[in-house]
Amino acid sequence: MLQESENNIIEWVNQTLTKWGCSEHMAHVIDEWVVLLLIILLALVVDIVLRQVVLRIVSKIVHKTSAKWDDMLFTHNVLVRMCSIVIPIIIYALLPIAFPDEDSHNLLSIIISRGVEVYIVVAFVRFFNSIIRMAFAIADTRPALHGRPIKGLMQTGQVIIMMIAAILIVAIIIDKSPVMLLTGLGASAAVLMLIFQNSILGFVAGIQLSINKMLKVGDWISMPKHGVDGVVEEVALTTVKIRGWDNTLQTIPPYLLINEPFDNWQAMFETGGRRIKRSLNIDFTSIMFATPEFIDTISQNSLTKEALEGIELRSTEGATLTNLDLFMRSINAYIVKHPRINSKMIAMVRQLQPSEWGLPIEIYCFSANVNWVPYEHLQTEIISYIVALAPMFKLRIYQAPSGLDIRR
């Protein structure tokens, strides 16, 4: 019945061409091509109707909904890619009408048929890729997944789809079963694993980075061994892109973050405190007991008086104070009262192990502003204050002798 209908259509086209002035021989030669052209035109008309009418109606409905995920159907061209599948499917379904006599046009019909089948596979690949991109975009909007290294998983899915499509296309061209091709590929699995070694390692590393929440896009990480120090911009299947502080772009393989240690400074931003840890060496020869006369002198000085406000200047429980003790107490009071120091975190001044370079005094506190420039300004302000305050307590900051010291 179907064969009879196909022959009737060819016969009708043949008669129509004859009525329009074509010879019977010419009509017999081009009738099948005319039918093929009509099939293509029909597929194009259906495609235009779907894109210009149906998709516009769907778009208006989607934009009226409160959900955001359905908007991504258009943002990532999911529905457009789905419509593009219609053209090759219509052509493939109606192709027997154009070439009903397979014996006389065997080679021609096979070439066109296989070409359309390849077109269908390519159209489905584009459709599935757009679905994967949309799924990645939806996942990135979720707070729990935002910035997580899941792009590598998306690229892995795309690679798998491309490999399946390549096998199907080769099977179509050589007219063999895809199962037979897969069987042949099994023998060369070692070669394939060697070729896709970085992709496989990147895929596994991406899963580990995501599950363990080791980093995400926007994190500041550093790997001194490899000279990496900057903000993570992208975690892909085979590369992690890091924007350095000098605005250069550094790339490292994801598995390097699994196999080797790295510092993730993002917790510092989340806690709201950036550590300040600086030390100055005090000359041993400038340390002395704080006599009553010395205490009276620094109590009357307007600058040191402000620094020592609220500090116990006299010794307690038989302890003997030194100018260094008072100096450290004044510095501690300064950083505790400082408005740009995080008062909820540790703030202290302590002595470190003495050395041939003097007695180190370390300032340990946390800046309330974790951004780089304000942080550096605060460090400069604190160190400058300490250096300027030391002579008022008759203390000397130790430094290596310079040429000027030798001339003196």
Residue 295 region, left (φ>0) first, then alpha (ψ -120 to 50), else beta? alpha
In terms of DSSP bridges, do strands 249-252 and 263-264 run parallel, antiparallel, or are they unpaired?
A: unpaired
Residues 87 and 193 in one domain: yes
Do 81 and 185 lie in one domain? The reply is yes
389 and 276 within one domain: yes
Q: Are 288 and 323 in contact (CB under 8 A)?
A: yes
| pLDDT recorded at residue 366 | 93
> Which residue, 264, 297, 328, sits at the end of a domain?
264
Tokens representing 197 are: 């070694």
Q: Are residues 33 and 108 in the same domain?
A: yes
CB neighbours (10 Å) of residue 398?
A: 18
Q: Mark whether 36 and 82 lie in a shared domain.
A: yes
Pair of tokens at residue 354: 């003495």
103 and 148 share one domain: yes
The predicted structure's pLDDT at residue 251: 87
User: The domain spanning residue 236 has which CATH number?
Assistant: 2.30.30.60
Indicate whether 35 and 158 sit together in one domain: yes
Three-state SS for 317?
coil
Exposed/middle/buried for 97, CB within 10 Å: 0-12, 13-18, 19+?
buried
Place of tokens 């009737």: 8
Q: Which residues pair with 350 in a beta bridge?
A: 362
Rounded alpha-carbon distances, angstroms, from residue 218 to 107, 134, 223, 233, 277: 57, 21, 16, 6, 25
How high is the pLDDT of residue 298?
80
What's the N-to-C CA distance of the chain in angstroms? 117
Q: Token pair 């457009």 is at which residue?
A: 80
| Residues 238 and 186 occupy one common structural domain | no
Strands 263-264 and 240-244 come out as unpaired
Distance CA 379, CA 275 (A): 10
Alpha carbon of 37 to those of 26, 29, 30, 32, 33: distances in Å? 16, 14, 10, 9, 6
> What does the pLDDT read at residue 3?
46
Lay out the sheet containing 240-244: strands in order across: 249-252, 240-244, 228-235, 220-223, 263-264
Contact 347, 364 (CB under 8 A): yes
Buried b (16+ CB within 10 A) or exposed e, 262-292: bebebeeeeeebbebeeebbbeeebbeebee
State which of 181, 208, 235 marks the end of a domain.
Answer: 208
Same domain? 146 vs 160: yes
Bridge pairing between strands 228-235 and 249-252: unpaired
**Phi, psi values for residue 241, rounded to 5°:** -95, 130
Residues 16 and 146 in one domain: yes
Last residue of a domain, one of 172, 192, 208: 208
- Measured in degrees and rounded to the nearest 5, phi and psi for residue 146 equal -60, 130
Q: What is the secondary structure of 162-176 as a DSSP string?
A: HHHHHHHHHHHHHT-
Which structural domain range is residue 22 located in? 2-208
Whether residue 198 sits in one domain with residue 296 = no
Burial class (CB within 10 angstroms; exposed 0-12, middle 13-18, buried 19+) of 333: middle
| Gap between the Cα atoms of 99 and 301, Å rounded | 108
Please answer whether residues 130 and 78 qualify as being in contact, where contact means their C-beta atoms are separated by less than 8 angstroms: yes
Ordered mean pLDDT values, 10 residues apiece, the chain (408 residues):
51 60 56 73 86 82 73 76 85 76 61 86 89 79 65 74 85 80 65 69 73 79 87 81 88 84 82 89 90 80 68 58 88 90 91 91 92 91 92 88 60
Domains in the chain: how many in total?
3
Is residue 193 located within the same domain as residue 110?
A: yes
- Quote the pTM value: 0.54
Q: What is the pLDDT of residue 255?
A: 82
